[in-house]
Amino acid sequence: MTQPTILTTDLEGVLVPEIWIAVAERTGIERLRLTTRDIPDYDELMRGRLAILREHRLTLADIQRVIGAIDPLPGAVEALGQLRQQVQVIILSDTYYEFAMPLMAKLGWPTLFCHSLDVDDQGMITAYRLRMPDSKTAAVRALRDIHFRVLAVGDSYNDVGMLAAADAGALFDPPQNVVADFPHFPVLRGYDDLLAFVERETERE
C-alpha cells in the first residue's frame, strides 16, 4: 500500500514574514530584529526578546496589534492550497498560539503545532512555555513512527533537526549563512520550487 505523505513546514519565513522583525519595524527597536537565523540558541534568543519587551513595557496586546496587520507572504495562500490538494500539511513553528491565530485565519486555518506564553494581569509576557524541547524534530519522528512519509521544509537553524529527521528535507529561501552551514540540504527558491519538491518526492513513494 502507498505510504501517505505529510509535509511539515515552518511558518515564519516560509508562509508569513518574521513576526519579530515586524515588531522591530513597528516599534523601532532594532534588537528585536534578531531571529533564529542570527542566534541559533532559541532559549538565548527568547530570553533576550522578553527582556527587551519588559524594558520597553510592551504588552502582549501591543504585539498582537502588530501581528494583526501582517499578511502572508505573496503567493503563500495559493501555494498552501495547492500543497493541501497533494499532501496533508502540518505547520511546525516555534511561535506561540497567542501570536499565531490571526495568521492562521489568513492562511485558511491549517494545522499548527507551536508553543504558548505566560501573561500577567498587566498583559506583560512573563515567560514562554515550550510544548517540549526540539518539538519540530520530535513531531517529524512521531509522524514517521506512525507510518507517514514526511517531507519537511524550513528556512533557519531551528528547522534543521526536522529536515534531517524527515524522509526528505529542504531549505526554503534560507539566508546564506544557513546554506553554508548545512550544504547537504537542497535549497528551494520560492513556491514553484516547493511545489516541485513535493511533487517529485511524492512520486518516489
> Which parts of the chain have pLDDT scores under 70?
1, 205
Q: Which backbone phi and psi does 188 adopt, to 5 degrees?
A: -100, 135
Q: What is the CA radius of gyration of the chain?
A: 17
Check whether residue 167 and residue 135 sit in a common domain. yes
Give the angle subtended at the CA of 140 by the CAs of 13 and 64, to the nearest 5°.
Answer: 40
For helices 19-27 and 60-68, angle between their N-to-C axes, nearest 10 degrees: 100
How much is the pLDDT for 168? 97
Check whether residue 39 and residue 102 sit in a common domain. no
**25 counts as catalytic:** no
What pTM value is reported for the model?
0.90
Check whether residue 50 and residue 113 sit in a common domain. no
In this structure, what C-alpha cell is assigned to residue 19?
513576526
How much is the pLDDT for 205? 60
Instruction: Give the H/E segment covering residue 7.
Output: strand 5-9
How much is the pLDDT for 39? 81
Check whether residue 58 and residue 103 sit in a common domain. no
How much is the pLDDT for 138? 97
Check whether residue 84 and residue 28 sit in a common domain. no
Q: Which of 28, 45, 68 is the last residue of a domain?
A: 68
Check whether residue 158 and residue 61 sit in a common domain. no
How much is the pLDDT for 43? 87
Check whether residue 96 and residue 165 sit in a common domain. yes
CA distance linking residue 53 with residue 90, whole number of Å: 30
**43 counts as catalytic:** no
Residue 56's CATH number: 3.90.1470.10
Check whether residue 89 and residue 175 sit in a common domain. yes
How much is the pLDDT for 103? 95
Query: How many distinct structural domains can be found in the chain?
Result: 2
Check whether residue 10 and residue 24 sit in a common domain. no
In this structure, what C-alpha cell is assigned to residue 137?
524534530
Check whether residue 113 and residue 28 sit in a common domain. no
Supply the range of the domain harboring residue 115.
Answer: 5-16+73-202
Q: How do residues 59-104 score in pLDDT, each as one tens digit?
A: 999 999 999 999 999 999 999 999 999 999 999 999 999 999 999 9
Check whether residue 11 and residue 28 sit in a common domain. no
Q: Which backbone phi and psi does 6 adopt, to 5 degrees?
A: -120, 135
Catalytic residue among 12, 98, 167, 201: 12
Check whether residue 62 and residue 87 sit in a common domain. no
Residue 10's CATH number: 3.40.50.1000
